[in-house]
Structures are given as C-alpha cells and as structure tokens.
Chain A
Amino acid sequence: MITAGSETKSDIKPPLWLLAELTYRCPLQCPYCSNPVEIAKYQNEISTEDWIRVMHQARKMGATQLGFSGGEPLVRQDLEELIQEARHLGYYTNLITSGVGMDEERVKRFKDAGLDHIQISFQASNEELNNFIGGTKSFQHKKEMARVVKEYEYPMVLNIVIHRKNIDQIRDILDMTVELNADYVELASTQYYGWSRINVDQLLPTREQLANAEKVAKEYQEKMKGKSRIIYVIPDYFENRPKPCMNGWGAIFLTIAPDGTALPCHEAGQLPIEFPKVTDMSVEEIWNDSPGFNHFRGFDWMKEPCRSCPEKEKDFGGCRCQAFMITGDPNNADPVCDKSPYHQQLLDDVERIGKIAAEEKGKDIKEQPLIFRNMKNSKKVINGEELKESA
C-alpha cells in the first residue's frame, strides 16, 4: 500500500459525505460558480449504472449524506432513479439546485422517490440582479419552487452566494428568506476558486461591506432564533487563520466529478496530483489506497511554518488548493494564515481590489466586467484564448 501521509490503513476513517456532481451542464451562468473553469472538458458523463455502483460502494463504507449537485443536477433525466436508489440504500439525500428545470410535478416525483431535502439557490433578493447574475430569467420561478418545496414538507435550505455585487442587499435577502419560511439559510461567502477566482477583482467585498453584513446577519440570527438557522461565514481572505479545509484531506468528503473522477474536495482537480476514476477502481480502493487520496493525509507532507505549528491538528494547514493557487506549491501553508510568508501578498491583493471597488461606486453593474460561467468561455480558457469580459 502506498502511504504518502503518516497514517496506516487502520487510521483512515470511512467517508461520511458523497457529493455526486452529476453534470456540469447548467442553465445558469453565475460568474462565481465553484465548478472548474475547464467545465467544457467534462462532456463525457458517467452512466446511471456507474452512479448506482458508486452509491452502493460508498454506502457500504459508511457514507450517510449524499448530495446531488452539479452544474444543475435537474438536467440529468435519471435523477429520479438515482434518488430512489439512494434512499433505498439508506442515504440522507440532498438535492442542491437552482430550481430551474423543476416543477411541482417533479417535486412530487422526488418526494415519492424518497428525496429528503431540497436546497434552492438565489442570486439576489430582487429580480433584476438575480436574473443578471444567473444569466437567466429565473427569479419568479425560484420563488414559486421555494413555496412548493415547503408545501411538500421538505426542510428548506436557501443558499445565497454573497459577494460585492449583492452584499449590500443582505437585509433584503434575509427578509426574502423570512417571507419564504426557510428552515436554514446559508449566506455563502464566495470562495475564490474556479470561476470566482477569475472574477475575484469584481466579487471580493470591501471590509466596510463585510462589517455591515456581519452586523445585519447577527441581527437576523437573533430575531429568527428557533425559526430559521442562519449561517454566515465571512470570506477567508479576511481571516488570520485558515479554515480546516474539508475537515482534513480524505477525512470525510468524497466528491465524484461528472466524468467519474474521484476527488477529496470539488476543487482538488486543479492540483498537480493524479486522481482515480470510479470507472477504473472501487470506491474503497480509491479512498484507502489511491496515492491521490493519501497525498495530504497525516502531517508528514507539511512544510514550515505548518510542520512545527501547534495548530496544525486544528486546521491541517488550511486549503491545499488555495496554497497552490496563490503560492504555486500545494505543500505550503494556506496564505490566509498570518504565519505564511505569502500572507502579505494576500493582504496586498485585498487592498488592490478595494481600490477597484471604490472606483466602480455608482456605476451600473452591467458596465462592470464579469466573466460568466458558460461553455463558450470555458472553451476559450482551455484553448488559451483571451477572455473578453462581457455583461
């Protein structure tokens, strides 16, 4: 057995979370999408039988939570079949969707198939901004779907990705979630990976915006106590210690990309590491034995300042992808940490973007250059063509 980390096989705990990225096709074009910018490379999606086999294997190992995600999972015509099989296996099944491609009839079919939870994303609290950011006329439909989800007694989670273009409307956004009777609200600060990384200059909020948003979020957390759970985490670019990314590499999470590539997190495909496919080996072999999943297990891979850091067991050195993107070496400390020699670079970047934010004040959002997530732009990235920022 290959061990890049210091753990022996018996130390490896089974996966708890299976994230099934069924497809990267999506009717929306959100410029903050966390999917890889190379989405156009993933045209070959694995089959229904492949997914069913993966679900069986991961469940047998102990996975309990299953997320159907994408892209837009509703695009897959076999979604009902997969839900039914997942429920039969005993998974708690989560559907993570934009709501576009759903109607009441389909929500009812999902219920009959045993789906446990539907999470709907909103791009903003007003129609114009929502539709602009998503690149689709979807706002009224999303609201309608949120009502249907509630009617069918699903726990309702509303997810709103927060960034510079919508953060000032946080009060309106929270009012909307109250109106829609959300059981859980995730104010998901944009994390700068994939498409959001290439749009970071346009998406990163300012410190002033963050301070205000935190105040408002706290107010609603108090107000909605017992009725709705509001989760708000500020973007880690403003922190001094990194997040315990994925609760450790290969510790809990197993993501399967649309082409069957198994990843310890949905961003890990960008790392200079080889990851196996579920069409080539079993989930158990992938999880326990593959070099990719063992790469950052344990602490032996760490460099300074992580190696001798007393907090290494708390945050595992932070995010490997962030270390790679910003420092060029995935073995480095996540530069969010102020012990990292690259931390100043991050601070400089935040300051530089703050200046861009100040200059755009008063300008219409449509005049601000965003690169939308779509196959056309993805192909340009793959071919190394210049990306024209278009509104």
Chain B
Amino acid sequence: MDINRTNIPEIAPTFRFQWEEVQDCYVVLYPEGMVKLSGSAGEIMKRVDGQNSIDDIIKDLENTFSENNLENDVSKFLEVAYDNGWIRNKK
C-alpha cells in the first residue's frame, strides 16, 4: 500500500488499541486475540486518532524524540497496520 502523507488514519471500529499495565505495552485487541506492540509501534499508534494526518504523526514523533527522517520507519509500521486492518483512512 502507498502511504500518502495527507491521509488521516483512524483505529478501525473492529479493533481496539489500549495500554496494558501488566504487559507493560500498548496492545491491539480483536476477537479472541491480542497483539503486543513494541515501544515505537505504540508511540505511532497512540497518535492515530482520526485527526492527525500521517504527516502530523511523523512531525510530532520527530519533535518528541528529537530525531530526523522517521518517515521510513513510520510508513513501514503503518503499512503493517493497514494490512492487518487495525487502522483505516478516515473518510
């Protein structure tokens, strides 16, 4: 999938994203299953709220973690998230 930086992603209604204290990580929940996210994946998903564009998300992450050129890493993860149906573009 092509990642267009102007797209505004949101969590798909058939998945849930939340922090799990005992697991000490963010998770994606779906019927009878759970995926534990890495720290960086969690930081990206946290910003997927149906308001931020992908561009906003990348810039915010670069600011927060004082890093440049995060576009590649973010795009790579978002592709996985789109492919798994965790997120979709807001219409």
Contacts and interface: CB of A to CB of B under 8 A. Distances in A.
29 contacts: A14-B22, A61-B22, A62-B20, A62-B21, A62-B22, A62-B23, A64-B20, A64-B27, A64-B29, A64-B34, A65-B33, A65-B34, A90-B18, A92-B29, A92-B34, A94-B31, A116-B16, A116-B29, A116-B31, A117-B30, A117-B32, A153-B13, A153-B14, A154-B14, A155-B15, A155-B30, A155-B31, A157-B31, A184-B31
Nearest to A184: B31
Contacts of A183: 14, 31
Interface in B1-46: 13-16, 18, 20-23, 27, 29-34
A242 interface: no
A154 to B, nearest CB: 7
Q: How large is the interface on A (under 10, 10 to 19, 20 to 34, 35 or more residues)?
A: 10 to 19
Interface in A163-202: 183-184
Nearest to B12: A155
Interface in B27-75: 27, 29-34
A183 B30 CA distance: 11
B79 to A, nearest CB: 14
A65 B35 CA distance: 12
Interface in A83-108: 90, 92, 94
Nearest to B83: A226
A157 B29 CA distance: 15
A298 interface: no
B32 A65 contact: yes
A35 interface: no
A16 B20 CA distance: 11
Contacts of B16: 92, 116
A114 to B, nearest CB: 10
A16 B31 contact: no
Interface string A1-31: 0000000000000101000000000000000
A184 B33 CA distance: 12
A94 B32 contact: yes
B22 A65 contact: no
A330 interface: no
Nearest to A157: B31
B48 to A, nearest CB: 18
A117 B14 CA distance: 8
B45 to A, nearest CB: 16
Given A64-B34, A154-B14, 18 more contacts: A14-B22, A16-B34, A62-B23, A64-B27, A65-B29, A65-B32, A67-B32, A90-B18, A92-B34, A116-B29, A117-B30, A117-B31, A117-B32, A153-B13, A155-B15, A155-B31, A157-B31, A183-B14
Interface string A58-92: 00011011010000000000000000000000101
A119 interface: yes
Closest A-B pairs by Cβ, 5 of them: A62-B22, A155-B14, A92-B29, A117-B31, A153-B13
A67 B29 CA distance: 13
A42 B51 CA distance: 51
Nearest to B19: A90
Contacts of B32: 65, 67, 94, 117, 157
Contacts of A153: 13-14
Nearest to B29: A92
A64 B15 CA distance: 13
A117 B23 CA distance: 22
For B13, B20, B30, B31, which residue has the most chain A Cβ atoms within 10 angstroms? B31
A183 B85 CA distance: 11
Nearest to A64: B34
Contacts of A117: 14, 30-32
Contacts of A154: 14
